[in-house]
Amino acid sequence: MLLLLLTGCISTRYVPDDRYLLSDIDIEMKNDQIDRNELQTHMRQKENLRILRVLKMHLFLYNLSSKKRTEGWLKNIGEPPVLYDRGLKDKTSQQLQQYLYNKGYYRAAVSDTVIVNNKKAKVIYRIETGEPYLISSFTTQYKDSRIASILDANKDESLISEGEVFDVYQLEKERIRITGILKNEGFFKFAEEFIHFQIDTNYLTYGANIEMIIENPGAKTEQGNPSQYHKKYRVADYEIFIEKQPVKDSSERDTAFQASSPGFTFRHTGEMPLRKGLFFKAVEIKPGGMYSKRGEDKTYNNLYALRQFKYVNIQFFEDESKGDSLNGFLKGRIFLPMQVKQNASIDIEGTNTSGNLGIAGNINYQHRNLFGGAEIFDITFKGANERQMAIINNESAEFNTLELGGQTRVTVPDFLLPVIIDQSNLYSTPLTSFSTAYNYQKRPDYTRTIVNATLGYNWRSGPSYSHTLNVLDLNAVRIFSLNPDFINQIQDLYIRSSYTDHIVSATNYSLVFNDRVSNKRPAYHYFRLNIESAGNFLRGLASLTGKEKIIDENSLDPEDPISYYTFFDTRFAQYVKADFDFRYGYRFDKFNSLATRAFIGVAVPYGNFPVMPFEKRYFTGGANGIRAWQVRSLGPGSYQAGDNEYPNQSSDIKMEANLEYRFRLFWILESALFLDAGNVWAINRYDNREGAVFQFDSFYDEFAVGTGLGLRLVTPYFILRTDLGLKLRDPSLAQGQRWIPFHRSFHRNDLNFNIAIGYPF
Within a domain: 632 = no
**Are residues 138 and 107 both part of a single domain?**
no
Q: List b or e across 515-548, with b for residues whose CB sees 16 or more CB atoms inside 10 angstroms.
A: eeeeeeeeebebebebebbbbbebbeebeeeeee
**Are residues 174 and 121 both part of a single domain?**
no
Within a domain: 444 = no
Q: Which of 302, 337, 372 is the C-terminal boundary of a domain?
A: 337
Query: Which pLDDT belongs to residue 555?
Result: 57
pLDDT in tens, 602-637: 999 998 888 888 889 999 998 899 999 988 889 899
Going through 49-108 in order, the beta strands assigned E by DSSP cover none
Q: Which of 89, 104, 128 is the C-terminal boundary of a domain?
A: 128
CA–CA separation, 93 and 100 (whole Å): 11
pLDDT in tens, 725-745: 999 999 999 988 999 998 899
Query: Which pLDDT belongs to residue 259?
Result: 44
Torsion of CA 513, 519, 520, 521, to 10 degrees: 40
**Are residues 12 and 113 both part of a single domain?**
yes
**Are residues 78 and 171 both part of a single domain?**
no
CA–CA separation, 42 and 265 (whole Å): 51
**Are residues 138 and 241 both part of a single domain?**
no
- What does DSSP say about strands 134-142 and 207-214: parallel, antiparallel, or unpaired? parallel
Residues of the domain holding 283: 232-337
Those residues of the chain that have pLDDT short of 50 are 219-225, 245-247, 250-253, 257-259
Query: Which pLDDT belongs to residue 495?
Result: 64
Within a domain: 329 = yes
CA–CA separation, 277 and 256 (whole Å): 13
**Are residues 114 and 52 both part of a single domain?**
yes
Query: Which pLDDT belongs to residue 684?
Result: 79
Considering all CA atoms of the chain, what is the largest pairwise distance in Å, rounded to the nearest integer?
98
Within a domain: 458 = no
CA–CA separation, 237 and 243 (whole Å): 20
Within a domain: 714 = no
Which CATH number fits the domain that encloses residue 55? Answer: 3.10.20.310
Residue 310, classified by CB atoms within 10 Å of its CB into exposed (0-12), middle (13-18) or buried (19+), is exposed
**Are residues 91 and 188 both part of a single domain?**
no
> What is the count of structural domains for the chain?
3
CA–CA separation, 2 and 342 (whole Å): 58
Going through 89-178 in order, the beta strands assigned E by DSSP cover 109-117, 120-128, 134-142
Query: Which pLDDT belongs to residue 351?
Result: 64
Q: Are 289 and 234 in contact (CB under 8 A)?
A: yes
CA 571 to chain centre: 38
DSSP code at position 562: -
Residue 290, classified by CB atoms within 10 Å of its CB into exposed (0-12), middle (13-18) or buried (19+), is middle
**Are residues 185 and 238 both part of a single domain?**
no
Distances (CA, A) of 112 to 25, 31, 130, 321: 10, 17, 17, 63
Within a domain: 32 = yes
**Are residues 191 and 112 both part of a single domain?**
no
Query: Which pLDDT belongs to residue 641?
Result: 79
Query: Which pLDDT belongs to residue 631?
Result: 86
Within a domain: 572 = no
Q: Are 22 and 80 in contact (CB under 8 A)?
A: no
**Are residues 248 and 153 both part of a single domain?**
no
Helical axes 145-152 vs 168-183, angle rounded to 10°: 110
Q: Are 79 and 591 in contact (CB under 8 A)?
A: no
Query: Which pLDDT belongs to residue 220?
Result: 46
**Are residues 37 and 109 both part of a single domain?**
yes
Q: Are 744 and 727 in contact (CB under 8 A)?
A: no
**Are residues 149 and 123 both part of a single domain?**
no
Q: Which of 172, 192, 220 is the C-terminal boundary of a domain?
A: 220
Query: Which pLDDT belongs to residue 258?
Result: 46
Within a domain: 417 = no
